Amino acid sequence: VADEVTSAKHRITVGSQPTAASEGGAVAARGSLEYAVARLQQYCNILENRVVGRFDAAMGRRSMQDMQECAKIMAEFNRETVLINRYISQMPMFIDTRLLAWGEDSDGDMALQLAELFKEVLSTVKDEVVMLESVFPSGLLAVETLIQRVIEQRVGLALELTLESTKKQTYDSEAARLQDYLKVLTQTYQRTMELAASLEAQCGEEVKVCAQAQALYSEHLKDYPKLEMQLLQQLYTQHRIEAQPLS
């Protein structure tokens, strides 16, 4: 396929149909620079579609060699990211609908569910990092793209749904609600940073997983002192009421 592109100039000049259009919609004259550029773009689009089709077929067979060949061709034309995004978007973890029901079971242990999810994420990423670094010439870019989507679409969504589940529960008092929310937030933060540290050890410090994970909690941690102060005030008020002698 790459050899065909190198000879595209000759094919363009002998094209049978003057289909290329110049700026403004006018048909460019055959042999002009505008005509050559437009025909070359058309030809590159056709070849890119062929390579993408071959990559999809190779991905279905898990044929690393064929995937490598396609990725190398696309990299030569600065289109490697097309295949990187295509590969990552087809990973089972990103099309798994189980996470959409996260937190619906109010009787479930959210901390345990989060630990199980993060365990699956870590195991999957370890396997996929090996594949990405083997298939794509820009292995680091592929890994960075994967980690960004993992943090945003898996970890971030799990965090929001976990915290949201605490708002759906009923509590005996405002103090109990605040206490449970802060407890869940602390647990999720600790588990998320543990996952990020493990991922960074697997992917390398260049990927900066911990910084991305920390960014998920920026707004939540900013509100933490205020919520903690509210909790202390609620507990103090509750303690004073309980300490009053019965008349």
**Share in percent of the chain as helix, strand, coil (round to 5):** 80, 0, 20
Half-sphere exposure of 57 (CA within 13 A, CB side): 9
DSSP 92: G
**Best-predicted range by mean pLDDT among 4-13, 27-36, 199-208?**
199-208
3-state secondary structure of 81: helix
pLDDT at 58 over 90: yes
- Rounded mean pLDDT, 38-55: 88
One-letter amino acid for residue 210 of the chain: C
Per-residue confidence (pLDDT) for residue 4, from 0 to 100: 56
Residue with tokens 């994420």, as numbered in its chain: 121
Sign of the CA dihedral running 187, 193, 197, 200: positive
All residues at 6 or more sequence positions from 137 whose CB lies less than 8 Å from its CB, including other chains? 71, 72, 75, 80
- Rounded mean pLDDT, 28-34: 76
- Rounded mean pLDDT, 165-174: 84
**What is the domain partition of the chain in residue ranges?**
1-78, 91-247
- Residues 106-161 pLDDT 10s: 456 777 888 888 999 999 999 999 999 999 999 999 999 999 999 998 999 889 88
- Residues 104-118 pLDDT 10s: 554 567 778 888 889
